Amino acid sequence: MALQVGIVGLPNVGKSTLFNAVSNSAKAQASNYRFCTIEPNVGLVDVPDTRLDKLSAIVQPQRVVPTAIEFVDIAGLVKGASKGEGLGNKFLANIREVDAIIHVVRCFEDENILRDEGAINPVGDKEIIDTELQLKDLDSVEKKIARTEKIAKNDPKAKRVLDVLLQCKNHLEQGKNIRGLKLEGEDKEAIADLFLLTEKPVLYVANVDEAAILTGNKYSEAITKVATEEGAQVIVMNNNIEAQITELESPEDKELFFSEYGLTEPGLNRLIRSAYQLLDLITYFTAGVQEVRAWTIHQGWKAPQAASVIHTDFEKGFIKAEVIGYDDYVTLGGEAVAKEKGKLRIEGKEYVVNDGDVMHFRFNV
C-alpha cells in the first residue's frame, strides 16, 4: 500500500532538493526560479528499519524487501494560489491526491537564492501556505453546503452532514486548519468526499544552513514553536547536505561525511520514519528463506486486513495467522526455537496486529 506524502512550500525553499535527497528512483530538477517544478515528480522511498537487518541475519533469505512510501514533489505555491495564481489550481489539485504533507520552510539566509516575500520569516511563509489551502477548502465546503441545504430539511442524515460542513466553514473562516477539529466517525465521513487539504496531517522541515544542522537557529526555533502549538512535528535538516549524502556510494565515505558534520545518521532517515508515523502506519514482517519482507498497514488493523496487503485472496480465505513477536523472534534466534518455547501464537480474525509482528497466514480460496 504505497501511500503518498506531498512535499510543499513556497518557491525556492528547498523542496526539489529534498525530493532529490529522499528519492532513490527519480531526480527532480532543482533550479533557482519560480515554477521550476510543474508536473509533480514521484519517487518511491524505502523506510529505514534496522529490524529487517536483524531478521535477515537470522533467516539468511534470498532477498530482503523493505516497505516504502511515495514522495511527491509538488511545485512551489504562491500567494493567490487558491485563486489560480502561479498555476495554483493545478498545484492544489496535486496536493489533494496525497495522504499527508511535508511542508518545507526556509530557515536560512542566502542573498543568492531568490525570495519574493521579503525578509526570512518561516512562520509567515507557513501562514501563506495555510491561507491558500484554507481558502481552497472553504470554497469546497461552501459548494457542498449549497448542495446539502436543499435536502437537509427533510433528511436527518443530510442535516447531520450540513452541521459538520457549517462547523468546518466557521473553522476555516477563522483561519484554522480542518485537522484541528479532530473529526472522527460519521463527522469525518461527512467531508470525506471533499479530500480537504487542511485536514491532511502535516510534518514541517526546517531547511537550515550548515552551521545550524545540529543546534537549529532562530528561524527553526520560531517554526518549531508554532508547529508544537498545533501538535505537529518539525525536522531540522540541511537539504543540500542530505542530497550530497545520497550521492555517496561507499559506507566509508558516508561515515566520514557524518563525522565531519557531527551526524549519526542522515536527517532523511528521521524524516522518512516521521512521515511513516504521521500516517499512523505500522510494520509487520514475513520471514522465510525466499525473502524477509516488511509490510505496511494502518495501526489497528486486524489480521485479515493485514493479510490483504500481500494478496486480496489472503483476506477472502483467511483461516488463521501464526504470529511471533519481533523481540521473541530475535532473542530466540528464529521460528523453530520460538515455536519450541511456546512463543508462536495462533491468532484468528479478531487479532489486532502489533508493530513488529512476524506473521505467516493460512488461507483457503
Query: Where is the binding site, in residues?
Result: 12-17
307 residue type, one letter = A
Q: Which candidate, 60, 51, 61, places its Cα nearest to that of 355? A: 51
Give the β-pairing of 202-208 and 233-237.
Answer: parallel
Placement of cell 480542518 in the chain: 178
Question: What grid cell was written down for 241?
Answer: 547536505
Residue 203: strand pairing partners = 102, 233
Taking the C-alpha atoms of residue 121 and residue 105, their distance in angstroms, rounded to an integer, is: 9
Query: What is each CA distance from 192 to 184, 208, 247, in whole angstroms?
Result: 11, 36, 41
Buried b (16+ CB within 10 A) or exposed e, 195-233: ebbbbbbbbbbbbbeeebbeebbebbbbbbebbeeeebb
Question: What is the helix (H) or strand (E) element at residue 293, kind and residue range?
Answer: strand 291-298
Q: Which candidate, 70, 99, 94, places its Cα nearest to that of 81? A: 94
Taking the C-alpha atoms of residue 346 and residue 356, their distance in angstroms, rounded to an integer, is: 16
- Report yes or no: 93 and 29 within 8 Å, Cβ to Cβ: no
- Report yes or no: 284 and 298 within 8 Å, Cβ to Cβ: no
173-181: which pairs have CB atoms within 8 A and are 24 or more residues apart? 173/138, 175/130, 175/131, 175/134, 176/134, 177/130, 177/133, 177/134, 177/230, 178/137, 180/230
Burial (CB < 10 A; 0-12, 13-18, 19+), residue 248, is middle
Annotated binding-site residue numbers for ATP: 12-17
Query: What is each CA distance from 300 to 20, 67, 128, 305, in whole angstroms?
Result: 33, 18, 35, 10
